[in-house]
Amino acid sequence: MTVVGLGLMGRALAAAFLRAGHSTTVWNRTSAKADALVAQGARPAPTIGDALRASPLTIICLTDYQAMRELLDVDGLALDGTLLINLTSGDSAQARETARWAGQRGARYLDGAIMAIPSAIGTPDAVILHSGPEAELEAHRPILEALGTVSHLGEDHGLASLYDVAGLAMMWSVLNAWLQGTAMLRTAGVDAATFAPFAQQIAAGVATWLPGYATQIDSGSFPAEVSALETDARAMAHLIEESEALGVNAELPRLIKTMADRAIAAGHGAEQYPVLIEEFTKP
C-alpha cells in the first residue's frame, strides 16, 4: 500500500506496515522524512501522483483535512479506482464532505481516526476507528491489522470522527474530575500519587454504571433506582462549598450543578442522573 504523510504518526504507520512485511510506498511533502523508512525497505514515490499510482490502497495521515484537500484536490491528479483511507483527525462534517468529494473524483473512501500515540502503532493497543463502506474495510482488514486493532463503526463516514471526539469528551471529563479532587486533597497534604489509586477505583466503579444508564437513556425513562437527581444536587452543593472553602477552583463543580439545577427546574428532580441527557442534547 501507499502511505501519504510522514509526520510522527504517518512514519509510525508506514513502519508498522514494513514490520508486517507489506510492500509499502511512501510520500511526504518534505521528502527527507522518508529516509529512515526507505532504509527499512519502503519505496519512495517522487511525486504524489506516483504515490497514488503505486498501490490500489492509499493511507493518508496529514495535519488536517485542509492539508489533504490542498494536496489531492488538484486538476490532473488521478484518483479513480483508488481506495483512500484517511486517518487524518477532523470533524464529522469534514469526513462526510470528503467522502462526497472522493466519490466525485472516482475514488472509494473510508474515513478513520487513530486512538493511539505513534509508539503504540503496530500493537493491539492501537485502536483505529473506521467508517464508510464495510465491504471495503473487510477486503483490506488483514493489511490494516498491521497497524493495530481495526474497528468498523458503520457506513456513515462521519462516525469515526464522532467517536473520536466523544472519546475526547470522556478523557478530559475524567481527567478534570481527578484534577479537581487532587486540588482539594492537596490542601490537606495528600499528594497526587496517594489520591490516584482511590480515583482510579472511583472511575472504574462509575464506568460499570454506563450500560444500565444507557438503557434508561435509550428508553427515555429514568426511574430513580439508586438516587434521585435532587439528592445528587445536594451533594454537588457540598462539592462547591468545600472547593470554595478550601480556596480551590470551583468552576467545574458549579458547571455540573448548573446543569442539574436546570433539569430539576424542568421537573426532573425525582428522576435518575442520566435524565441530564436532555441538557446535553440541547444546542
Count CB-CB contacts under 10 A for residue 89: 20
Site string for ligand NAP, 110-149 (x = CB under 6 A): ----x--xx-------------------------------
Strands 127-131 and 83-86: unpaired
Does residue 9 touch ligand NAP according to CB under 6 A?
yes
- What is the nearest approach in angstroms of ligand NAP to the Cβ of residue 7? 2
**Ordered strands of the 127-131 beta sheet:** 43-44, 25-27, 2-4, 57-60, 83-86, 108-115, 127-131, 149-152
Count CB-CB contacts under 10 A for residue 53: 15
What is d(CA 14, CA 146) in angstroms, rounded to the nearest whole number? Answer: 10
- What is the nearest approach in angstroms of ligand NAP to the Cβ of residue 142? 23
- Map the footprint of ligand NAP across residues 11-40, applying CB under 6 A: 28-30, 33
Binder among 1, 2, 3, 6 for ligand NAP (CB under 6 A): 6
Selection from 121, 112, 139 nearest residue 56 by Cα: 139
Grid-cell match 490542601, residue found: 187
Residue closer to ligand NAP, measured from CB, 114 or 185: 114
Does residue 5 touch ligand NAP according to CB under 6 A?
yes
Residue 279: all three cell numbers together? 441538557
What is d(CA 86, CA 69) in angstroms, rounded to the nearest whole number? Answer: 11
Residue nearest to ligand NAP (CB): 7
Which range binds ligand NAP by CB under 6 A, 61-69, 155-163, 182-190, 214-222? 61-69
- What is the nearest approach in angstroms of ligand NAP to the Cβ of residue 12? 8
Question: Which residues sit at the interface with ligand NAP, rule CB under 6 A?
Answer: 5-10, 28-30, 33, 61-64, 67, 70-71, 88-89, 114, 117-118
